[in-house]
């Protein structure tokens, strides 16, 4: 995706109104998400030691920002996400079945290939994790939780519009479920991003399932680290963004790997050496709870619900000078 300049764009809110709306929107969404999924807020790390295996490896090619801790002479990594840390924390903190945790996660993804309307090197999201029974590791359980989260999205939209009536309502009544293979079968001649745009423009809100597995064309719809989501039981929440006339991914989530799926996915990804890391040992030894979890982009939901054209309108970042000038000329004011 390259920079998109919507024709005749004008923000519904001023910069100061936007700042106020961001705070109100985040507070409301966070509270309702916590209530809906029975989550308790916890503190979380900004950095971890790489030898623990706790950091999220994303697509396997991104490099974490590293620095040396002089007092202990060890290198640490800025987290990419808390996908694996949360599962260990659930056990450590003594959470019970049917309850979970969430945290504010901040990350730096320095290898983000393209800076555009949706992508920056700074990531802020709510990372959440919920304990489930092993027999609940099913598509039905996944859909149940997705519907609960979607209900929070709808309530948030209603809340924002009540305060700022100039904001447009966008969400449909129901979210559509579809697998990445089904989407490929529908649009075999389109690229993954083009397929997403096509289905989301038609449906408005989509949960695209089974991300990370190889499809019938011999390719993956998108990459996913092999050691947190089960590729058969995960997905992305995608909304149609009419401001950009494209899909916007607001959440990546899924039922987490068990002992069997972890071993299988590590083998398929040629990452079997990870079994010697602390996190992977604990999981393979059955020491960690079975969970479902994910991340929900804070800046992205603000961008979506406030009808913004660029993520830089709702988060402070670093952008190419030419982008700043081009956006400013079109009344897109980057913070």
**Residues tagged active-site:** 56, 109, 125, 236, 249, 252
Alpha-carbon distance of 180 to 202, in angstroms, equals: 16
Identify the helix (H) or strand (E) that includes residue 304.
helix 298-305
Cβ neighbours of residue 269 closer than 8 Å, sequence gap 6 or more: 60, 226
Cα atoms found within 13 Å of the Cα of residue 115, Cβ hemisphere only: 18
In this structure, are strands 66-69 and 291-297 parallel, antiparallel, or unpaired?
unpaired
Q: What are phi and psi of 216, to 5 degrees?
A: -65, -20
- Contact (CB, 8 A) for 164 and 194: no
Cβ neighbours of 52 (radius 10 Å): 15
Alpha-carbon distance of 146 to 93, in angstroms, equals: 25
Cβ neighbours of 251 (radius 10 Å): 23
Give CB contacts under 8 A, 24+ apart, made by 7-12. Answer: 9/243, 9/309, 9/330, 9/331, 9/332, 10/331, 11/307, 11/308, 11/309, 11/313, 11/331, 11/332, 11/333, 12/164, 12/166, 12/167, 12/168, 12/306, 12/307
Encoding tokens for residue 155? 């309530």
Alpha-carbon distance of 18 to 15, in angstroms, equals: 5
H-type alpha helices, 164-191: 180-186
């Amino acid at each position: 995706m390259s920079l998109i300049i919507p024709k005749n764009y004008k923000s519904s809110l001023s910069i100061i109104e936007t700042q106020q709306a961001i705070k109100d929107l985040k507070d409301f969404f966070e509270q309702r998400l916590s209530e809906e999924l029975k989550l308790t807020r916890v503190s979380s790390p900004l950095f971890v030691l790489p030898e623990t295996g706790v950091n999220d490896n994303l697509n396997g090619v991104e490099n974490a920002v590293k620095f040396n801790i002089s007092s202990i002479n060890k290198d640490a990594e800025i987290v990419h996400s808390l996908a694996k840390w949360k599962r260990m924390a659930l056990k450590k903190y003594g959470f019970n079945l049917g309850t979970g945790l969430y945290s504010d996660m901040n990350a730096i993804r320095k290898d983000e290939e393209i800076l555009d309307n949706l992508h920056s090197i700074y990531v802020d999201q709510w990372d959440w994790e919920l304990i489930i029974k092993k027999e609940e590791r099913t598509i039905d359980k996944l859909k149940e939780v997705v519907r609960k989260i979607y209900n929070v999205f709808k309530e948030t939209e209603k809340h924002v519009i009540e305060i700022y009536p100039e904001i447009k309502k966008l969400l449909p009544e129901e979210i559509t479920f579809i697998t990445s293979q089904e989407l490929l079968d529908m649009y075999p001649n389109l690229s993954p991003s083009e397929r997403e745009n096509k289905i989301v423009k038609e449906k408005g809100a989509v949960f695209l399932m089974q991300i990370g597995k190889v499809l019938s064309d011999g390719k993956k719809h998108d990459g996913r680290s092999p050691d947190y989501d089960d590729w058969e039981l995960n997905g992305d929440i995608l909304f149609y963004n009419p401001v950009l006339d494209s899909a916007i991914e607001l959440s990546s989530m899924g039922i987490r790997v068990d002992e069997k799926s972890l071993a299988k996915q590590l083998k398929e990804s040629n990452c079997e050496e990870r079994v010697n890391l602390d996190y992977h040992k604990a999981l393979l030894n059955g020491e960690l709870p079975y969970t479902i979890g994910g991340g929900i982009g804070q800046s992205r939901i603000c961008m979506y619900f406030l009808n913004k054209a660029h993520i830089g309108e709702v988060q402070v970042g670093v952008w190419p000078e030419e982008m700043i000038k081009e956006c400013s000329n079109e009344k897109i004011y980057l913070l």
